[in-house]
Amino acid sequence: MRIDRSPEARVASLAVSVVIAIGGVLMLAPFYWLIVASTHRTRDIFSNPPNLVPGDQLWTNLVNLFVGEGFGHAVLNSTLVATIYALLGGLVCTAAGYAFAKFRFAGQGVLFGIVLVILALPSQVTLVPLFQIMVQLNWLNTYQALILPNLALPFGIFLMRQTMQSVPDELIQAARVDGAGEFRIFAQIVLPTMRPALAALGIFLFLAQWNDFVYPLIVLRTSDAYTVPVALASLQGLSDTDYGQLLAGTMVSVLPVLGLFLFLQRHFVAGILAGAVKQ
């Protein structure tokens, strides 16, 4: 896109920037509070008016968290599980989305309907039986228990199906005419045009696994296997929650996802390469 430097465009640019900036500040303000809270002891976090000046307890909180509570382990576990999940899940969901978007086959409607039903039923309802399955398989406290059950994430399948609909049929058709195999078409023709959607899928899958709380809580047994949300929850007590630690931990847990998002940023704006159909 050419950058328009006319006066009207400049005014428009300023207006848009200001509005977005105001909204952006509102979006970020809670994180400022979070960072400030991480630098305080519990008793100084809750004040009237709210405490917006950073304190000096950040190091103490972090040391208590990582050394005392083994939080580093949790971050490692979460990162590993979420990464594997995002990669494998990305593969599974993309393949499924492709099938739904670009093919007609018997049972298509029913199958997609099942995907939606699975999306619709609240996960709390299936918590107990899923737990029973894990017990039967003897998979308690394992990585596979966290990764496998939701690998075929309906949200991911749905996302891929929708975004693949805009992949031009002619592209695929042309490749078929050239004699390419189906898997090759998928991997080398279709996927490269979908970088932004794949990046989005990767982020969402990573995030879904990273934030998952209730199911890991039940499946994980020992504190060295805890993921981040479970580890943070174990810091809560009835009358003695160390909020400095808890909020410092929350702040730390934001960083990996943030890092991933920044890393994948460039894929969100594919730019000129998107239009691959040559006239």
Partner 1 sequence: MNCCKHDFALLASGTIRSRRCREVSQRSLVPAAWDDRGPRNPEEEKLDNTVGRLFAATGRLTRLALATTALATLATAASASELSGTITVWSWTAPADGLEAAVAGFNKLHPGVTVKVEDVGNPAIWDKITTGMAAGGAGLADVLNIGIDYIGNYIETFPTGLVNLSEVGADDLAAQFPSGMWASGSSADGAVYGIPYEVNTSGFFYRKDLFDQAGIDINSIVTWDDLIAAGPKLKEATGADLIAMDKAATVADSAGLWQLLTNLQGAFYFNAAGEITMNGPAGLRSLELIKKANDAGIVADIPGGWDNFMMQIKGQTNVAVIPAASWAAGVFENEAPDMAGKWRLRLPPSVEAGGLTAAISGGTYLSVAGTSPNKEAAWEFVKYALGTLEGQQATYEGGGMFPGFKPMLESDGFVKKSDYFDAEVNKFFIDELAQNTPVVNYTTDYARALKAYTDAQTQVLLSGADPKTVLDEAAALVAGQTGRTIAN
Partner 2 sequence: MTSSKLQPATRRRWRGSSPRLTPYLFLLPVLVLFAGFKVYPYIYAAWLSLTKIIKGQTTFVGLGNYGRLATDPIFYKALTNTLIILVTQVPLMLGLALLLAVAFNSTLLRFRAFWRTAYFVPIVMGLVAYGILFSTLLNSHHGLVNFLFESVGLPRVPWLADPVWAKVSIIIALTWHYTGNSAVIYLAQLQSIPGELYEAAEIDGATAWQRFWHITLPGLRPAITLTVVLSTIGTLQLFDEPYVLTNGGPNNATLTIGMYLYQNGFKYFDFGYASAIGYVLTGIIGVIALIQFRFLREKQA
Residues 96-135 that bind partner 2 (CB under 8 A): 96, 98-100, 103-105, 108, 111, 114-122, 124-126, 128-130, 132-133
Residue 147 as a binder of partner 1 (CB under 8 A): the answer is no
Binding mask 12-41 vs partner 2 (x if CB under 8 A, - otherwise)? xx--xx--xx-xx-xxx-xx-xx-------
218 binds, among partner 2, partner 1, none (CB under 5 to 8 A by kind): partner 1
Min. distance of Cβ 55 from partner 1 in angstroms?
15
| Contact stretch for partner 1 (CB under 8 A) within 22-30, 87-95, 149-157, 235-243 | 235-243
Min. distance of Cβ 93 from partner 2 in angstroms?
8
Specify the residue, 111 or 140, whose C-beta has the smaller distance to partner 1.
140
Which residues in the 203-262 window bind partner 2 by CB under 8 A? 203-204, 207, 210-211, 213, 228-229, 232-233, 236, 243, 246-247, 250, 253-254, 257-258, 261-262
Own/partner long-range contacts of 82-85 (Cβ < 8 Å, ≥24 apart): 82/205, 82/206, 82/207, 82/209, 82/210, 82/256, 83/206, 84/143, 84/147, 85/146, 85/147, 85/150, 85/151, 85/205, 85/206, 85/208, 85/209
How far apart (Å, rounded) are the C-alpha atoms in residues 258 and 207?
10
208, 153 Cβ separation under 8 angstroms: yes
Residue 177 as a binder of partner 1 (CB under 8 A): the answer is no
CA-based nearest residue to 141, from 231, 221, 212: 221
Question: CB count, 10 Å around CB of 257?
Answer: 17
259 binds, among partner 2, partner 1, none (CB under 5 to 8 A by kind): none
Question: CB count, 10 Å around CB of 265?
Answer: 10
Question: CB count, 10 Å around CB of 81?
Answer: 22
Binding mask 20-49 vs partner 1 (x if CB under 8 A, - otherwise)? ----------------------xx-xxxx-
Helices (H) and strands (E) in the chain, counts: 14, 0
CA distances (Å), origin 35, targets 15, 51, 57, 237, 252: 30, 11, 11, 22, 9
Per CB under 8 A, residues contacting partner 1 are: 42-43, 45-48, 127-129, 131-132, 135, 140, 214, 217-218, 221-223, 230, 233-241, 243
